[in-house]
Amino acid sequence: MEVESLATEMDTAVRVVHLASSLCVKVQEKLRIPSSTNGGGHIKSKDDDSPVTVADWGVQAIVSWVLAEVFGTQNLSIVAEEDTESLSNAESLALLGAISNAVNEALSEAHKYGLPKPDKPLESTEILKAIGRCNSIGGPKGRHWVLDPVDGTLGFVRGDQYAVALALIEDGKVLLGVLGCPNYPVKKECLSNGCNQSGSVSKGCVMYAKKGSGQAWMQPLLPGGGYPESATLLKASAVDDPVLATVCEPVERANSNHLFTAGLANSMGVRKQPMRVYSMVKYAAIACGDAEVFMKFAQSSYKEKIWDHAAGVVIVEEAGGVVTDAGGRKLDFSKGVYLEGLDRGIIACSNQVLHEKIIGAVYASWESSSL
């Protein structure tokens, strides 16, 4: 496929992630108001006890509605994390009302982003329909949009890092990826220690890339909303000595083996403490040169989902980085919702030389560990 043929898809994806990020910023501000213990009713627990907010469902509704308006619904396939089951009962009426308000407030400003907007506010039934449309399971054939509406919901709820992630996959190959990172800091040390960024007009960005273009780009989130006219070319770090590398890993211990990662870093002589960062912001940090390595070794029972990686992988690769499983094989996005057949874990590096060194260290450490 010609890269140029994705112009409309790329443009729409970047614009809708800008719009979705603006919704997230507003919802996160409301979560900081201590009106009750659950963020004023903006948080609900899923069956797995992970928090879901108005932002998760709101972003999914907005992205689904915009994609349907631009590309039509006939062959539109969207793979996304949330469903409408828990929103369809009487106890969720207040939550659905909050989602409707957030969605309609955001869509009323869609014209600022060069996107279509509804003639009148969407009814709750229309919003549920948009959310429910995202029920595809992907697979090896066809074109599928892949969305994680709020990747790193725990970081979002805590006022920390999170990302809006949208990718397009065709016949199992990622064609483009967009990451909205509303809290991405000016200073990289703030990625892991949560510097107070309030009042900083330069906080937040949207990163994006097309497969095969050899370019990844970053645009600022405009404080007052709207679509920026400029973009900055991203370039991953050239640091290829593990001793000098900055390593990212997930915050949560539940789906990442911090002990093995620490032993691996120690065996390579890594001097810096790992940056523990929520969400696909770890990929963003590598793409823009703020970190060199992202390692994740999940428990054997944990299955990686395609929406947690697709957008970040293509952005890192087009910025000059390399992403594989721990055995050095490319990630396979053709098996449906899950990344099947992963060899132990995922390794993302800013360049090929460093990647080869990390993979070698993984093999050596694995043989001597009891993991």
Closest CA to 135 of 151, 150, 149, 146: 146
Cα(247)–Cα(80) distance, integer angstroms: 29
23: enclosing H helix or E strand: helix 7-31
User: Strand 143-151 to strand 78-80: parallel, antiparallel, or no bridges (unpaired)?
Assistant: parallel
Question: Would the annotation count 85 as a binding residue?
Answer: no
Of the listed 12, 153, 246, 324, which one is catalytic?
A: 153
Asked if 174 and 168 touch (Cβ cutoff 8 Å), the reply is: yes
Show the tokens assigned to 321. Answer: 């980085």
Return the residue matching tokens 């997230």.
Answer: 24
Cα(88)–Cα(93) distance, integer angstroms: 8
Cα(329)–Cα(204) distance, integer angstroms: 32
Return the residue matching tokens 């060194």.
Answer: 357
Asked if 242 and 354 touch (Cβ cutoff 8 Å), the reply is: yes
User: Distance from CA of residue 144 to its chain's centroid?
Assistant: 16
Alpha helices, DSSP H, located in 234-340: 258-267, 281-287, 310-318
Taking each helix axis from N to C terminus, what angle separates 93-107 and 7-31, rounded to the nearest 10 degrees? 130
Question: Would the annotation count 332 as a binding residue?
Answer: no
Of the listed 12, 56, 84, 261, which one is catalytic?
A: 56
Is 153 among the catalytic positions?
yes
Asked if 347 and 312 touch (Cβ cutoff 8 Å), the reply is: no
Cα(190)–Cα(195) distance, integer angstroms: 5
Can you list the positions of beta strands (E) in 97-161?
Answer: 143-151
In this structure, how many other beta carbons lie within 10 angstroms of the beta carbon of residue 99?
26
Cα(175)–Cα(345) distance, integer angstroms: 23
Question: Would the annotation count 11 as a binding residue?
Answer: no
Question: Would the annotation count 308 as a binding residue?
Answer: yes
> Which residues does the annotation place in the binding site for Mg(2+)?
81, 148, 151, 308
| Binding-site positions | 81, 148, 151, 308
Residues designated as active site: 56, 153
